[in-house]
Chain A
Amino acid sequence: MNDMTVPAQASSTGAPLNLSRRGFLGASLGALVLGVALPARQARAQQADAPAIKPGTRVNAFLEIRPDGTVLFRSPFMEGGQGIFTALAQIVGEELDVEPTQFVMEPAPPGPDYLLIGGMRFTGGSMSVRLSYDAMRRLGAAARQMLLQAAAVQLGVPLAELTTEPGRVVHAASGRSLAYGDLAGAAAALPVPENVTLRERADFRWIGKPFARLDIHAKSTGKARYAIDQTVDDMLYGAVQHARRLGMEPGDISNEAQVRAMPGVHSVHRLPGAVAVLANSWWRARRAAEALEVNWTEPASGTANAMPADFSTEGHLAKLKAMPGAGLDFETEGDAAAALAGATQKVEAVYDAPYLAHGQLEPSSALARFNADGTLELWLPNQAPEMFQADAAKVAGLSPDKVILHSQLLGGFFGRHFLYTTANAYPQAILLAKASGRPVKLLWSREEEFLRDALRPMAVARFRAGLDANGLPVAYEAVAVGEGPAGRWFGRKTDKVDSSSVEGIAGKPYAIPNRRIAQIHVDDPMIIGFWRSVGHSMNDFFSETFFDEMADAGKQDPYALRLRLLADKPRHKALLEAVADLSGGWKRGPFTAQDGTRRARGVAMASPFGSEVATIAEVSLRDGEVVVHDVWVAIDPGSIVNPAIINAQVNSAVALGLSSALFEEAVYAEGVPRARNYDGYPILPPDRMPKVHVRIVESGAPMGGIGEPGVPGVPPAVVNAASVLTGKRIRSLPLSKQRLSAGEG
């Protein structure tokens, strides 16, 4: 475990001491050793007057060119299957002129260099590539420029006579060349150039190509290591039993002595809202933790986040549905109220969607170790290193620079690994390491993971539309009821609508002249979180299925009506036509397929995270359930980095979107969840996976996201198709709640 050991002090290097070793300085120390130094001048300047670091500019904080020509790259973004490591290697490699296969990727430590998302850093919102694309290209180009300059000196030739080929600087006139690995030391001593020339798009060799992922072999052979796999010497394993309701605290433990005597048990601990056992294996720790008979005390009144003893999801849904009021306006155009009053025909509906668990396959864990030098090391999954570092410091009673964070490969995330107070495992690991004086690897069992996950919020949406004499919508009013995760975790103003609660109802492209989108805030008693595609995950279901209700009421074909209302939106219109084309031409059905099943198709559009998506689903009914056969997705992210990754991400998004449409719902009664494992919370199994057909459209619009945008169109496309077969509108998810039967259709 030497590679995890940190030198106590770095004083002899003359490098700054007032900054975290694993902050930007960590990079420079490593680089000095390996030959690509942080320019010493800059490092000292950083120490002396601490000028602001411009994120994404300091070459040496990001990459080390090693003597063998491989490139160690510290990724500002976490890899959890979305392919960001490979995409960054393609982007940086393109400009640096190094084959992406030569890149060795690791998550960057906390530090100012990596704050590429508007002065912050997180891996989410499908933002990684689109917000760092330019900076990462310039970074690669700057590093190439430094190598060229170093080569010019070494070869004694003018810079202008030098070019590069992958991994080498070439002097064509003399036939000489130098490997990047041999130039790295000299190059690193040069200042980072301010101005660089970027490659022409037409000359791209790797950007835009279906480059093979860098992590596939390791992940196919069990060699990829996740937080759950980390070990350090002298480590104890920890398991917890959480209070069944948040806010309850452990009182007496009636069998504590017996549990202490169980095999391998080291100690029993009381933590905020939990009891824990440390042992010499996780299985022993877990068995002992589960055996603890704890007298839980009710929360004192006013306890933050306490889960009410009478809370039920059914009750909360009824409350949301009954909320009076017109809500706070978010998006308005024309006069929806007047147009509604004057409409020939009115359509009204109330929709709802349940709480959802993340259900990422790797349960939460954290490994914590206090070192003799007063630092705390943490190995953990996270989507926001600086925020976790700051919070861990608070828990440990240290300053943030004393917290060394080793971000890990994520065994799925989907929004699970943000800072969610009680939903994160590392505070417990820190407390247990402190109490025991030993390193502790804490792992939540799947049951504890389900109990403490931060859930996608439940929501209700009320719609009213007015149609004119031709059956065309002239008035549209939508009121979302609930709470969004962005407001919960990043602050909500009472006089402003949290966009994460309305995105997907608001921001639709359809030309309806009078519109009002509003929201009624209701505090959610649950710990709510970001779930792949956030508000879009339910709001596009609401708005796009209600769209079909409007179409049906006005006797319009839903595809044709969409096209008509997108007449002035060429990008959307083209995309809708693209998905229809991909599916062999729009047909709603019902029709009889070759295998004799009655089938229908539904269509939906979504505009999530800067991308545009059009989705068509083909479904049939079997034994009261919806079977989805094919899903066609046309996605326009503006421009792309890797079509193979986009294809994989759309497949993945279809699976998750479909899983939520068909099966998923976190149900609570008396303040506790009904399901604590996948047996009670089914997720999409392989035999329910449809065929997925993807068309990528590059409209040239500003680059949009990829990881999430495929999700939101799936539930409405599926439900719109199912409604054709049942002859009845379905306004509540998941579909598995009801037995569906074919209608007249």
Chain B
Amino acid sequence: MELTINGQTHQVDIEPDTPLLWVLRDELGMTGTKYGCGLAQCGACTVLVHGQATRSCVTPVETVAGAKIMTIEAIETDPVGQKVVEAWVAQQVPQCGYCQSGQVMAATALLKQSARPTDEEIAGAMVNLCRCGTYNAIAAAVREAAQA
């Protein structure tokens, strides 16, 4: 099966129902995308598929063969992603950091869809869990990135 991740193609030979998350982490060694729940509950595994925030822990890899996948590893090569990272740094968002790959990806997806999101749109898109409670800093960073 052929996967296009961060602009590069990869051939993987794997059971087609394997979640994309584990293909990224274990087959391709891209460990920036995290495992938190495996059940679409937390969002730590968020990647972009055709620009849409997607929970890779419940995404069978066969469903994204041929799709344009972007992971946190490429975040700074993406102009929107770059802005988001800058805002994350400016707002000093992460604490333990474990959820933050997913948060940054979710924010990037939002800003790709809506360059000037309203507070409601931000709340609607930024639904990933953070056990360290960085939620206020996340919201501030998304607003900042939208203004950048």
Contact B133 A656 (CB under 8 A): yes
Could you tell me if B136 and A651 are in contact, using CB atoms closer than 8 angstroms? Answer: yes
Q: How many Å from the CB of B33 to the closest CB on chain A? A: 7
- List residues of B whose CB falls within 8 A of some A CB: 15, 18-19, 22, 25-27, 29, 31-39, 41-42, 44, 71-73, 75-76, 85, 88-89, 92-101, 104, 123, 126-139
Could you tell me which A residues sit within 8 Å of B by CB distance?
A: 80-83, 212-213, 215-226, 228-229, 231, 237, 263, 281-284, 359-363, 409-414, 443, 445-446, 644, 648-649, 651-656, 659, 677-679, 683-687, 689, 691-692
Q: Are B32 and A361 in contact (CB under 8 A)?
A: no
A222 pairs with B101, CB closer than 8 A: yes
- B35 close to A80 (CB less than 8 A): no
Alpha-carbon distance A140/B115, docked complex (angstroms): 47
The listed residue (B32, B127, B132) touching A222 by CB distance below 8 A is: B32
Chain A residue nearest to B85 (CB atoms) is A220
Name A212's closest neighbour in chain B (CB-CB).
B92
CA distance A679 to B58 in the complex (A): 15
Which residue of chain A is the closest to B93 with respect to CB atoms? A220
Most central of B92, B95, B130 by chain A CB within 10 Å:
B95
Residues of B within 8 A of A445 (CB): 38
Known: A220-B104, A221-B76, A283-B18. A685 touches B127 (CB 8 A): yes
Residue contact A231 to B89, C-beta cutoff 8 Å: no
B92→A446 contact, CB < 8 A: no
In the complex, which of the residues B15, B76, B97, B134 contacts A411, with contact meaning CB atoms closer than 8 Å? B97
Note all chain B residues with C-beta closer than 8 A to A414: 131
Query: Within 8 Å CB of B29, what residues of A?
Result: 231
Which of chain B's residues have a CB closer than 8 A to the CB of A224?
A: 97
Is B131 a contact partner of A683 (Cβ separation < 8 A)? yes
Contact A652 B132 (CB under 8 A): yes
Contact A678 B39 (CB under 8 A): yes
Query: How far does the alpha carbon of A33 sit from the alpha carbon of B98 in the complex, in Å?
Result: 33
Q: How near does chain B come to A670, taking the closest CB pair, in angstroms?
A: 23
**Cα A222 to Cα B73 with chains together (Å):** 6
Residues of chain A lying within 8 A (CB to CB) of residue B36: 361-363, 446
* Contact A689:B98 (CB < 8 A) given known A216-B93, A222-B33, A644-B92: no
**What is the minimal beta-carbon distance from B87 to any residue of chain A, in angstroms?**
9
CB-defined contacts of A229 to chain B, threshold 8 Å: 31
Q: Shortest beta-carbon distance, B59 to chain A, in Å?
A: 12
Q: How far is the CB of A324 from chain B (nearest CB, A)?
A: 39
Report the 9 A-B pairs with minimum CB-CB distance, sorted nearest first.
A655-B133, A222-B32, A219-B97, A81-B95, A81-B96, A411-B98, A222-B72, A283-B22, A219-B94
Which residues of chain A are near B18, meaning CB under 8 Å?
A: 281, 283
How far apart are A237's CB and chain B's nearest CB, in angstroms?
A: 7
Considering only CB atoms, which chain A residue lies closest to B128 in the complex?
Answer: A686
Distance (Å) between the CB of B73 and the closest chain A CB?
Answer: 6
Contact A363 B35 (CB under 8 A): yes
Q: How close is B110's CB to chain A, nearest CB, in angstroms? A: 13
| B98, chain A: closest CB distance, angstroms | 3
Interface pairs (23), CB distance under 8 Å: A222-B32, A226-B34, A226-B98, A231-B29, A282-B22, A283-B18, A361-B36, A361-B44, A361-B96, A362-B98, A443-B35, A445-B38, A446-B37, A446-B38, A652-B134, A678-B39, A678-B41, A678-B42, A684-B135, A685-B129, A686-B128, A686-B139, A687-B127
